[in-house]
Structures are given as structure tokens and as C-alpha cells.
Amino acid sequence: MSVGIDEISFYTSNYYLDLKTLAEVQGTDPEKYYTGIGQEKMGMAAPDEDIVTMASSAALPLIERVGPEAVSTLLFATETGIDQSKAAGIYVHRLLGLSSNCRVVELKQACYSATAALQMACALVARKPDCKVLVIASDIARYDLDTPGEATQGCGAVAMLIASNPRLVSIDPEVGNHTEDVMDFWRPNYRSTALVDGKYSTKIYLKALKKAWDNFRDVSDLAFGDFSRFCYHLPFSRMAQKAHQQLVRHNKVGLSADEQEAQISDTLLYNRIIGNSYTASMYIGLTSLLENTEEDLSGKRIGFFSYGSGCVGEFFSGTVVAGYREALHTEYHQALLAARREIEHDEYLQLYRNQVPADGGEHRFAEGTTGRFRLAGIAHHKREYVIC
């Protein structure tokens, strides 16, 4: 019996800022963003959108197919937590009409926690093969204005149904990990934007890749040559290109630059125009790979490197299942991305400055999202969600 990803769907806001616009305002060469970090656009959340509404929208196509009673556990990964106690997934549980017998929990370790959720979901399914676990990763990446991180913001959510005999990707049990207490990127409870030591964070990412890969090689029989494609955590596209170059060098593999690029290029397409979605980003990258690769990937092995600052890195592997294209939501995702509206810099600043009031009063939020779920307001410190 194999265990893995049976279905995958993502959601991102209907607003984006073109990084050319940001570059113009900053007096920066736009090629620094387009080529230097490999990003074109960044998604900006609407005033009535948060991790709960994005997560619900991401999961809706899966639940519409499988039915709300089918999910036995919902694991919600995020680093944009909205409450220190209550799991954001419980709001999602209600909005999607999941069974009261479905357990819900929230997981955190920067961008890595979706991978922890995936592995835990696989373990639950291996123990009870007829159950289905819903893994959702949802985040809004925010950095201070006029900092190097500003151009690497974004937002998005991904939902994955984990099941036995999956239709998309079977996940292998062997994993390589690297954990180390470092301060490369963090967000104390009293801040709404992340603090980051940018250059250091890229070095630590690469170190964690090397260490996690070495650990993976200790526990798995698979070698570099067994992999057809690689999905990396995607804070920005160039990071994956640098990571892959390093892995190729580390393994002393004789691949041309074009051959190396071909192993990752289709994973970058969606993230290039969405931006960093933290926990969701590597899995939006996987969706991009499956939906945009012309070659039939059936039976091909994919290597995954998941990274969460602070830090935990994990290298793991999976195999694409024959007939996977039948289970994709390609048209839905491409229509979602095509329907987004470009915003000017002043509207970007308005959205950026938009914060959920913390005064305990009653507030209604302007309508902005075109998604099925809205954060309509807040009263007495309670968020009010509605289904449109």
C-alpha cells in the first residue's frame, strides 16, 4: 500500500503588485527583482481576507469532491497565527462543514510546518488506511517597508488530501533532517512583520539543504540520479536555483546548466507571480510542476527540500502516480491566477497597512476578496467569517 498526496489545490488573493512598480517607486532596477531574485509579482491579501478564508478557499474543491464527512483529521500549518490558543483550522472546520468527529490542530515551525503536517498525515493514514487527512498550509508573508525583504512578500494557501493509494504523489517514508537553533528569520509575538537577517538566512538555507541531504543519503537507498525533478521551499525563485546548483555540486554530478534548470523550472512558475506564501510555497511549487510539465511525469521520482527558518530542513522523496493528470485542478488554478487584478503602489500601501483592529470594538471590513469566504468583521475580539 502506498500513502501520499491524493489531491492538491491552492488559493491566492485576487490582488497583486508587479515588482516593476515597486522598483520604480524605490528607484531600483526592476531586473534586480525579475532576474536577481527571480520574482515578477507578489500577491496582497484583501482587507477581508486572512489565513482562514484563504485556507477554506484552497480546500473547497477537495471537500466538494470527497464530501465533508470523509475527513478524519485537519492539520493546519501556518506562521501567520491569528490566535495563541484557538487553532485557525477550527474556523475552517465550520466553514467547510467538516464532521464534528474530525480532529483539528495547528502546527508551527516557520515555513517547514506543512511538511511536518504532511508526514504526520502519512503516518496517520499508514496506521488506518481508510482515513483521509486534510493538510492545509496558509500564510501571508510580510516584511517591513523599504527593507530587502519587502519584494519577497506574498500570500497563499494550499490544501492537500492525504490518503492511501493516492492519485498524485506517493510519499516515501525515509526523510533526512537538519535542525539547528539559529536566528535567520523570526517574528516575535508582538510584531506583525518578520525580522530577518537576509543574507545569513540564504546561507543557513543552503547549509540545511546539504545537511538534510546527507542525512537522507544515510537513511535512503536513493541517490541524486534517481530523481527526475526537485521541489524546493520557495521564498523567491532564485533561492531554488541556488539550492539546486549547490546540490548538483555537492553530488559531483555532471549536468549542464540547462539540464539543472530543467529539473526545477516548472516548479517556479506559480510562485514567481504569487510570491512567498511561507508554509504553502513548496506545495504550490509542486502543483506548478504537476500542472505545467508537458512530459508525462508518471513514475518519476521527485526530491523535496522543505525549509523553515529558525531552523528545520527536511529532504524527502515521492513518486508521481500514473494517471495523475486526471486528479489535478489545472484549469481552476490558471483561471484564478488570470483573474487577479494588478494594483498600484498607493493601493498596495493601503492593503499593507490594513490590520485587524485590536481594541475589542465592533468593526466591519471592506469587501475586497473574490473568494467564497470573507472575514466580514471583528467584534469583542471575535473574528466573524461568512460564506459568500
Find the shortest distance in angstroms from Cβ 383 to ligand HMG. 23
CA nearest neighbour of 372 among 104, 50, 60: 60
- 31: cell is 531586473
The reply on whether position 205 binds ligand HMG by CB under 6 A is yes
Using omega within 30 degrees of 0 as the cis cutoff, is the peptide bond preceding 311 cis? yes
Measured at CB, which residue is nearest to ligand HMG? 36
**Cβ-based nearer residue to ligand HMG, 236 or 283:** 236
The reply on whether position 231 binds ligand HMG by CB under 6 A is no
Q: Consult the annotation and say whether 177 binds a ligand.
A: no
Q: Consult the annotation and say whether 143 binds a ligand.
A: yes
The reply on whether position 175 binds ligand HMG by CB under 6 A is no
Beta strands at 301-308 and 229-232: parallel, antiparallel or unpaired: parallel
Beta strands at 154-164 and 132-141: parallel, antiparallel or unpaired: antiparallel
The reply on whether position 267 binds ligand HMG by CB under 6 A is no
Spatial contact of 32 and 200, defined as CB atoms under 8 Å apart: no
**Cβ-based nearer residue to ligand HMG, 38 or 368:** 38
The reply on whether position 120 binds ligand HMG by CB under 6 A is no
From 35-43, 59-67, 114-122, 222-230, span contacting ligand HMG (CB under 6 A): 35-43
Write down the residue that cell numbers 555540486 correspond to. 249
The reply on whether position 31 binds ligand HMG by CB under 6 A is yes
CB within 8 A of 113, min separation 6: which ones?
Answer: 77, 78, 79, 107, 137, 279, 308
The reply on whether position 370 binds ligand HMG by CB under 6 A is no
The reply on whether position 368 binds ligand HMG by CB under 6 A is no
Q: From the CA atom positions of the chain, what is the Rg in Å?
A: 20
* Cα–Cα distance for residue pair 180/254, rounded to 1 Å: 31
The secondary structure element, H or E, covering residue 342 is strand 341-342
Site for ligand HMG in 302-331 (CB under 6 A): 307-309
The reply on whether position 148 binds ligand HMG by CB under 6 A is yes
From 27-35, 219-227, 251-259, 368-376, span contacting ligand HMG (CB under 6 A): 27-35
- Whether 79 sits among the annotated catalytic residues: the reply is yes
The reply on whether position 202 binds ligand HMG by CB under 6 A is yes
The secondary structure element, H or E, covering residue 320 is strand 312-320
Residue 367, CB half-sphere, CA atoms under 13 Å: how many?
7
Structure-derived torsion over alpha carbons of residues 285, 273, 11, 89, reported in degrees to the nearest 10: 70
Task: Please state, in angstroms and as integers, the Cα–Cα distance from residue 165 to each residue in 126, 216, 321, following that order.
Answer: 10, 24, 9
Q: Where are the alpha helices (DSSP H) in the chain?
A: 19-26, 30-31, 51-66, 88-95, 113-127, 198-219, 237-250, 257-262, 269-274, 281-292, 330-338, 345-353
Q: Consult the annotation and say whether 276 binds a ligand.
A: yes
Find the shortest distance in angstroms from Cβ 158 to ligand HMG. 14
Q: Consult the annotation and say whether 211 binds a ligand.
A: no
Exactly one of 2, 20, 26, 37 binds ligand HMG (CB under 6 A); which one? 37
Catalytic choice (93, 178, 233, 244): 233
Degrees (nearest 5) of the Cα angle 229, 230, 233?
Answer: 155
Query: How many residues bind to ligand HMG according to rule CB under 6 A?
Result: 29
3-state helix, strand, coil in the chain (%, to 5): 40, 30, 30
The reply on whether position 32 binds ligand HMG by CB under 6 A is yes
- Whether 7 sits among the annotated catalytic residues: the reply is no
CA nearest neighbour of 47 among 386, 292, 375, 387: 375
Region of residue 380 (phi > 0: left; psi between -120 and 50: alpha; otherwise: beta)? left
**Cβ-based nearer residue to ligand HMG, 175 or 196:** 196
The reply on whether position 140 binds ligand HMG by CB under 6 A is no
From 12-20, 32-40, 47-55, 322-330, span contacting ligand HMG (CB under 6 A): 32-40
The reply on whether position 216 binds ligand HMG by CB under 6 A is no
Site for ligand HMG in 77-106 (CB under 6 A): 79
- Whether 233 sits among the annotated catalytic residues: the reply is yes
Binding residue numbers: 29, 143, 242, 276
Binding residue numbers for (3S)-3-hydroxy-3-methylglutaryl-CoA: 29, 143, 242, 276
Looking at the annotation, which residues are catalytic?
Answer: 79, 111, 233
Residues that bind ligand HMG (CB under 6 A): 29, 31-32, 35-37, 79, 110-111, 148-149, 152, 184-185, 196, 198-199, 201-202, 205, 233, 235-236, 239, 276, 278, 307-309
